């Protein structure tokens, strides 16, 4: 989702702390994401997704955010992967966007829900055919003896679905992280960084600052 830049935003790196504090976190995210999209060479929508297992062990990996709106932030995956298993055990996750060129990061924490089948179908069908075949071929996060095994599984999937139509596997879908907390971090001189937090309060948001 791409939103117009916030008309109240000051130039990148020069935000007024008071103006930032008073903003809706989704509007501020839209501004920062637009800035990142304009300057990041590769994947401005890349984000770290952190999950925790039933045993309390954390893990993190970088995925691509594929959609966002006021309901939350969406990514897609094999739900039988490690992160899928962990999200089945603990329906909470943390996200981290880091834009080094802008010296900014955004942390988002909240509960996780499944996207609808219609949303999953729409995104899956927008992917290149080989990527769709890969969803059938990859037993994600499971041991792989040799890459030739993966290549053979891709070939098998291609033989099974020779045309452009490749159905979405039932185990491949998306998750939406519903924010309960945002933190916007801006690099400042001498490590006196600016940190603005937003916490959900019912249908509203409270905001404040943290020491760097």
- Give catalytic residue positions: 191
User: Could you tell me if 192 and 210 are in contact, meaning their C-beta atoms sit under 8 angstroms apart?
Assistant: no
CA distance 103 to 95: 17
Band of residue 18 on the pLDDT scale cut at 50, 70, 90:
very low
Burial of 2 (0-12, 13-18, 19+ CB in 10 A): exposed
- Is this prediction's pTM over 0.85? yes
Q: Which two tokens stand for residue 47?
A: 């984000």
- Summarised one tens digit per residue, pLDDT across range 172-190 is 999 999 999 999 999 999 9
Residue 147 has pLDDT above 90, yes or no: yes
Beta-bridge partner residues of 113: 176
| Residue 125, CA atoms < 13 Å, CB-side half-sphere | 8
Q: Which two tokens stand for residue 87?
A: 């999200």
User: Mean pLDDT over residues 43-61, rounded?
Assistant: 97
Per-residue confidence (pLDDT) for residue 171, from 0 to 100: 97
- Domains in the chain, CATH or no CATH each: 17-115+170-210 (2.30.110.10)
For 21-35, 76-90, 122-136, which range has the lowest pLDDT when averaged over its residues?
21-35
């Amino acid at each position: 989702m791409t939103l117009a830049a916030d008309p109240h935003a000051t130039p990148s790196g020069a935000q007024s702390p008071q103006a930032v504090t008073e903003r809706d976190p989704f509007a501020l995210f839209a501004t920062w994401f637009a800035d990142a999209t304009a300057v990041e060479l590769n994947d401005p929508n890349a984000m770290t997704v952190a999950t925790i297992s039933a045993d309390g062990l954390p893990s993190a990996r970088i995925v691509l955010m594929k959609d966002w709106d006021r309901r939350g932030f969406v990514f897609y995956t094999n739900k039988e992967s490690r992160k899928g298993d962990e999200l089945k055990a603990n329906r909470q996750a943390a996200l981290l966007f880091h834009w080094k060129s802008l010296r900014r990061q955004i942390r988002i924490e909240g509960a996780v829900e499944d996207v609808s089948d219609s949303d999953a179908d729409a995104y899956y069908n927008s992917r290149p055919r080989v990527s769709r075949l890969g969803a059938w071929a990859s037993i994600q996060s499971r041991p792989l003896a040799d890459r030739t095994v993966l290549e053979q599984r891709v070939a098998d999937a291609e033989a099974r679905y020779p045309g452009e139509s490749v159905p979405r596997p039932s185990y491949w879908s998306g998750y939406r992280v519903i924010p309960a907390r945002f933190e916007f971090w801006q690099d400042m001189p001498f490590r006196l960084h600016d940190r603005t937090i937003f916490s959900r309060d019912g249908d509203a948001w409270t905001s404040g600052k943290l020491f760097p």
